[in-house]
Structure 1
């Protein structure tokens, strides 16, 4: 963590009595603009879920979230913005995503159709960058969370 991120985490720990480091420190998305856009949804308590391709966890690129985990969420410039607590984690094929999960993600018009279009575009872009073929039969990690601070 940067000094600014560490100070933010320390302030959280002092205010809440928490005494361990975060399980993850991350920004949503793959660009500063997308990170800020998705963070705004979290701060408005509209976004309470996210999905990540299972490949990133299998390769050790991202830690696999577990219920109760705390994460420090960053904005698009890497500055600390809030802390979330994982409430539920599921793994299943992307094609089996539900309307309810799409709604919990809080993006776009919150429909499953919008969610699929946006995530297929995102994961196809990531797959091209990383050199693998993407399809909706592949698994994703479906992560539900609550913003707990501020």
Structure 2
């Protein structure tokens, strides 16, 4: 579906992909489309820079080739420190074995690649619902 059509259908939607590379974008997108991933997080500093939509806002999620793949809608957000993420929150992200230990290791690596990791760092933890698969 063309970007212009999506912009008309979902005014104010942000267009983005999960992760920091094409393979990760496709892997995490697949989890969303299967209903296994219903949450994500970003550093608070990235959230402020990007001006991400708040609760009720739409996101057009791109695949690893930057094609629109689905639309999600934010249903809840909370500010939490990395060290305070719970096992339940980690499971909602749907990644790996869905354990807190896996979540901590994968996200520590991700935030270190971004150059912004600290166990005390603030995250925006976002829960979302799949609105529309576009493929």
1:32 paired residue among 22, 41, 44: 22
Unmatched segments (≥5 aa) in structure 2:
none
Greater C-alpha radius of gyration: 1
1:137 to 107, 113, 120: 120
Question: Aligned Cα RMSD in Å?
Answer: 1.7
Asked if structure 2 preserves the Cα contact closer than 8 Å seen for 1:35 and 1:76, the reply is: yes
Q: Deviations over 1:98-134 (max 9, x none)?
A: 111101000000000100000001101110xxxx5x2
For the residues of structure 2 that align with 1:22 and 1:107, how far apart are their CA atoms? Answer: 28
Alpha-carbon deviations, 1:45-82, whole Å to 9, x = none? 11000010111123x2x223311101111001110000
Structure 1: 5+ residue stretches without partners? 14-19
Structure 1 ranges of 4+ moved more than 6 A: none
**Alignment size in residue pairs:** 133
Cα deviation, residue 22, structure 1: 3.5
Match of 1:64 in 2: 52
Which residue of structure 1 lines up, in the alignment, with residue 67 of structure 2? 79
Partner of 2:84 in structure 1? 96
Conserved? CA contact 1:70–1:85, under 8 Å? yes
TM value normalised by structure 2: 0.91
* 2:102 aligned partner: 114
Please report the TM-score for the alignment, with normalisation by the length of structure 1.
0.83
